Amino acid sequence: MIEFFNVSVKSKNRLILREINLKIRKGEFVYLIGKTGAGKTTLLRLIYMDLIPTAGNVLVDKFSSSNIRKREIPYLRRKVGVIFQDFKLLPDRNVYENVAFSLRVIGKSRREVKSRVLSVLTQVGLNHKRYHKYHMLSGGEKQRVAIARALINEPFILLADEPTGNLDPEASKDILNLLEKINKSGTAVCMATHNYKLITWAPHRTLLMEDGFIKQEIDPDNLNQILEL
Ligand SMILES: Nc1ncnc2c1ncn2[C@@H]1O[C@H](COP(=O)(O)OP(=O)(O)OP(=O)(O)O)[C@@H](O)[C@H]1O
Ligand SMILES: [Mg+2]
C-alpha cells in the first residue's frame, strides 16, 4: 500500500533522509520515533507528497513519486489523511465548517456534505459540539476536529505528526484511544511521536529513526527499551 524504495532526500547539499526502504501494509499501525531532526516529519511529508524524494521512489496506493503530476496530488490527499501537533484548523469557523470545508471545495452536494460531516463528527465523539466555535474548544477537542477533517474522504491511512504534542497526558491518551479505534475500523495509522510512555501503553510496530535513517525496528513486545533512549 505504501512502499519506499531506496529513498533519499537532500536539502542544501545535506542528506536529511538516507536510503529508506519501508513498507506499510493495509490497516497497520506504525509509530515513528527518534530525536528531533531525525527525519520523522520529512518521512511523513513524502507519503502525502508534500515533498518529492531526491533519489528513490515512494509508492502510495496507485501513485508514484517518480511520475505523479501536480494535478493528481489532490486525489492522493483524499486517500491520505494528515493531522499535526498544532491542529491547523480554521480559527474563524465552527466545528462543522472546519470539517465540511474540504468536501465543499470539491463540489459535493449539501446533503452529501451534511451526512458525511455528521458521520465523522460522531466517529470522533464531537457531534454535540458541531456548532461550537474553534476558540471554545479544548486542545483535545481541536485535535478531534482535525481528525474528523482528515477522515472526511475515507482515507486508507491517517498520518499523525506529533498529534499529542500540545496535549496533557489525559487528552493524549484519549487521542491515542481514538486513533486505535479508527485503526480497528480498517484505516492504517502512521504516527510520529516523542511520547514514548504513550507507545508502551499502546504498543505497535515502532520504527526508530536517527540522522535520516531507519536505525531499528523495535518489536512491540520489547518496547520498554525505548524508555531508556
Ligand atoms: N524544508 C527544509 N529545508 C531544509 N532542511 C530541512 C527542511 N525540513 C527539515 N529539514 C532538516 O531535515 C532534518 C530532519 O527534519 P525533520 O523535521 O524531518 O525531523 P523530525 O524527526 O520531524 O524532528 P522533530 O522531532 O523535531 O519534529 C533536520 O535536520 C531539519 O533541520
Ligand atoms: Mg517533526
d(CA 183, CA 147): 12
State whether the beta carbon of 149 lies less than 6 angstroms from ligand 1. no
The tens digit of pLDDT for each residue in 152-171 reads 999 999 999 999 999 999 99
Helices 95-105 and 110-123 meet at what angle, rounded to 10? 130
Say if CB 144 and CB 99 are below 8 A apart: no
d(CA 214, CA 228): 18
Q: What is the pTM of this model?
A: 0.95
- Ligand 1 pocket, mutate which of 10, 33, 35, 40 (most atoms under 8 A from CB): 40
Segments of 34-96 assigned E as strands: 55-60, 63-64, 80-84
Q: Is the pLDDT of residue 229 over 80?
A: no
The tens digit of pLDDT for each residue in 78-136 reads 999 999 999 999 999 999 999 999 898 888 999 999 999 999 999 999 999 999 999 99
Rg (CA), the chain: 18
Was domain 2-228 assigned CATH 3.40.50.300? yes
State whether the beta carbon of 167 lies less than 6 angstroms from ligand 1. no
